[in-house]
């Protein structure tokens, strides 16, 4: 076991040097495969016993990527194998014993059919990752039921260059078509009513008179109405508006025309500003409170510039972020940068339900999990203190040209269900 290549005599030929380096590569590859095998076993144990939920991680893949510092795609591979450890005992044993690589077993775990462990364990002993991918693709896909004819395209756009119009052809199911027709007719009626009123109040003749609204005008009116509503609803391009009624004397709130909110839900909703809040005392509405806790567009830009993504270590989400008050505005927390951090909806909810704790100020934020341990963005990687796994060197797959016409794909055994 050499952790450093033994320097050869300066007279070594290039071929000797290469062989020496290849030997070391084989040894390290075997060890790395065995280590990956152990990592897979650890992840299978964490996943099987649901040990990841206290960490504030949104998925087991996210946990693997975070704790090991590997790319999300590679973390998916580890998790795919961990999920199917019991279905592919021979393939995973090959990984643990250093003979197969994580990527080889990953292709099998991600795509191969149930019951194919023996087939692929034999094949993986000689096949590269690319060859395994091809082999898995050659598996007959189960098609018990005759496939229904794919429906014809529902939305066809014809845009011929040089023409001054574009044609859409839209196919809607009956119920949706009825909705569209009702909305379209209502817009057409409204436009014609307006047009008639204008003509009566302001009779004009000839070229001055606007033409009677057409079905196309009604269609555009429908589109514009929908668009306007959407813009009004999401001025900051984020959450939809929720209307909440808050009792000014006691911490209690209810959704507009809806149920009473739990403490967690109330604090979560009121944290970000894009909900509309109405205060009331003794059942009487005393005004809409939209001032102190409103995160203005400008303030939001400041937060986006500072935080960039969800502030929970290891998260990295950038879409649909909420501005969270570290000291809740109900408790007198100010709406200013040092009391605000950006959280993804998942972590925002998790925090208000007590899954993670965030302690300010924002510049020195401390995030702890449900057990009170501080979360940091760093991976767990550190210099090893134990010797590497004692496994034989792994020279890698043969890399022979695959003779696919002689290859028999894995065929699931016929099912006997009588």
**Interface ranges with Zn ion (CB under 5 A):** 271, 310, 312, 315, 317, 324, 344, 347
DSSP assignment of 367-414, as one string?
EE-TTSPBP-SS-S-----SPPP----------PPP-GGG-----PPP
Of 245 and 324, CB closest to Zn ion: 324
Of 220 and 317, CB closest to Zn ion: 317
Smallest separation, CB 365 to Zn ion (Å): 13
Let me know: does 348 contact 268? Beta carbons within 8 Å: yes
Smallest separation, CB 325 to Zn ion (Å): 6
Of 58 and 187, CB closest to Zn ion: 58
Of 26 and 317, CB closest to Zn ion: 317
Let me know: does 360 contact 339? Beta carbons within 8 Å: yes
Let me know: does 342 contact 303? Beta carbons within 8 Å: yes
Smallest separation, CB 317 to Zn ion (Å): 5
Smallest separation, CB 322 to Zn ion (Å): 7
Of 96 and 322, CB closest to Zn ion: 322
Mapped onto helix, strand or coil, the DSSP state of residue 264 is helix
Let me know: does 35 contact 391? Beta carbons within 8 Å: no
Order of strands, edge to edge, in the sheet holding 252-255? 252-255, 243-247, 276-281, 284-288
Let me know: does 388 contact 31? Beta carbons within 8 Å: yes
Of 58 and 245, CB closest to Zn ion: 58
Let me know: does 295 contact 326? Beta carbons within 8 Å: no
Structure tokens at 125: 């002993």
Of 34 and 340, CB closest to Zn ion: 340
Of 40 and 310, CB closest to Zn ion: 310
E-state strands within 133-205: 155-158, 167-170
Smallest separation, CB 271 to Zn ion (Å): 3
Of 123 and 312, CB closest to Zn ion: 312
Mapped onto helix, strand or coil, the DSSP state of residue 156 is strand
Of 123 and 358, CB closest to Zn ion: 358
- Report the distance separating Cα 369 and Cα 375, nearest Å: 7
Let me know: does 52 contact 63? Beta carbons within 8 Å: yes
Smallest separation, CB 77 to Zn ion (Å): 23
Q: CA distances (Å), 225 to each of 66, 172, 211, in order?
A: 45, 20, 21
Q: By CB neighbour count within 10 A (0-12 exposed, 13-18 middle, 19+ buried), where does 295 fall?
A: buried
Smallest separation, CB 254 to Zn ion (Å): 19
Smallest separation, CB 347 to Zn ion (Å): 3
Main-chain phi, psi angles of 54, to 5 degrees = -75, -10
Q: By CB neighbour count within 10 A (0-12 exposed, 13-18 middle, 19+ buried), where does 216 fall?
A: exposed
Smallest separation, CB 315 to Zn ion (Å): 3
Smallest separation, CB 194 to Zn ion (Å): 45
Of 334 and 409, CB closest to Zn ion: 334
Alpha-helical segments (H) within 285-366: 297-307, 345-352
Smallest separation, CB 346 to Zn ion (Å): 6
- Residues pairing with 25 in the sheet: none
Q: By CB neighbour count within 10 A (0-12 exposed, 13-18 middle, 19+ buried), where does 125 fall?
A: middle
Q: Which single residue is written with the structure tokens 């300010």? A: 360
């Amino acid at each position: 076991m050499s952790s450093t290549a033994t320097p050869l005599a300066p007279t070594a030929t290039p071929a000797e040097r290469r062989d020496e380096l290849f030997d070391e590569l084989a040894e390290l590859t075997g060890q790395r495969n065995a280590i990956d095998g152990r990592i897979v076993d650890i992840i299978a144990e964490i996943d099987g016993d649901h040990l990841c939920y206290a960490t504030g991680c949104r998925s087991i893949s996210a946990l693997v990527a975070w704790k090991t510092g590997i790319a999300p795609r590679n973390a998916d591979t580890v998790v795919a194998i961990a999920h199917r450890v019991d279905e592919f005992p021979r393939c995973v044993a090959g990984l643990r014993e250093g003979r197969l690589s994580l990527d080889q077993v990953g292709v099998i775990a991600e795509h191969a059919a149930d019951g194919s462990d023996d087939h692929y364990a034999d094949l993986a002993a000689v096949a590269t990752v690319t060859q395994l991918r091809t082999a898995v693709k050659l598996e007959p896909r189960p098609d018990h039921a005759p496939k229904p004819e794919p429906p014809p395209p529902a939305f066809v756009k014809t845009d011929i260059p040089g023409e001054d119009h574009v044609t859409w052809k839209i196919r809607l199911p009956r119920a949706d078509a009825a909705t569209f027709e009702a909305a379209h007719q209502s817009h057409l009626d409204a436009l014609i009513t307006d047009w008639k009123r204008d003509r009566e109040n302001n009779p004009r003749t000839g070229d001055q008179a606007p033409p009677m609204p057409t079905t196309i005008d009604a269609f555009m009116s429908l589109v514009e109405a929908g668009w306007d509503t959407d813009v009004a609803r999401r001025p900051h391009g984020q959450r939809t508006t929720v209307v909440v009624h808050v009792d000014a004397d006691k911490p209690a709130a209810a959704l507009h025309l809806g149920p009473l909110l739990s403490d967690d839900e109330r604090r979560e909703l009121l944290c970000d500003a894009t909900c509309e809040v109405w205060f009331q005392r003794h059942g009487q509405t005393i005004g809409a409170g939209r001032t102190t806790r409103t995160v203005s567009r400008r303030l939001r830009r400041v937060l986006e510039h500072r935080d960039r993504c969800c502030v929970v270590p290891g998260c990295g989400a950038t879409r649909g972020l909420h501005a969270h008050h570290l000291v809740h505005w109900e408790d007198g927390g100010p709406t200013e940068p040092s009391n605000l951090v950006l959280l993804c909806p998942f972590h925002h909810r998790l925090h208000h339900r007590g899954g993670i704790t965030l302690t300010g100020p924002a510049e020195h934020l401390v995030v702890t999990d449900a057990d009170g341990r501080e979360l940091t963005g760093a991976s767990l990687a550190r210099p090893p203190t134990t010797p590497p796994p004692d496994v034989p060197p792994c020279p890698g797959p043969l890399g022979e040209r695959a003779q696919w016409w002689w290859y028999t794909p894995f065929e699931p055994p016929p099912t006997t269900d009588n």
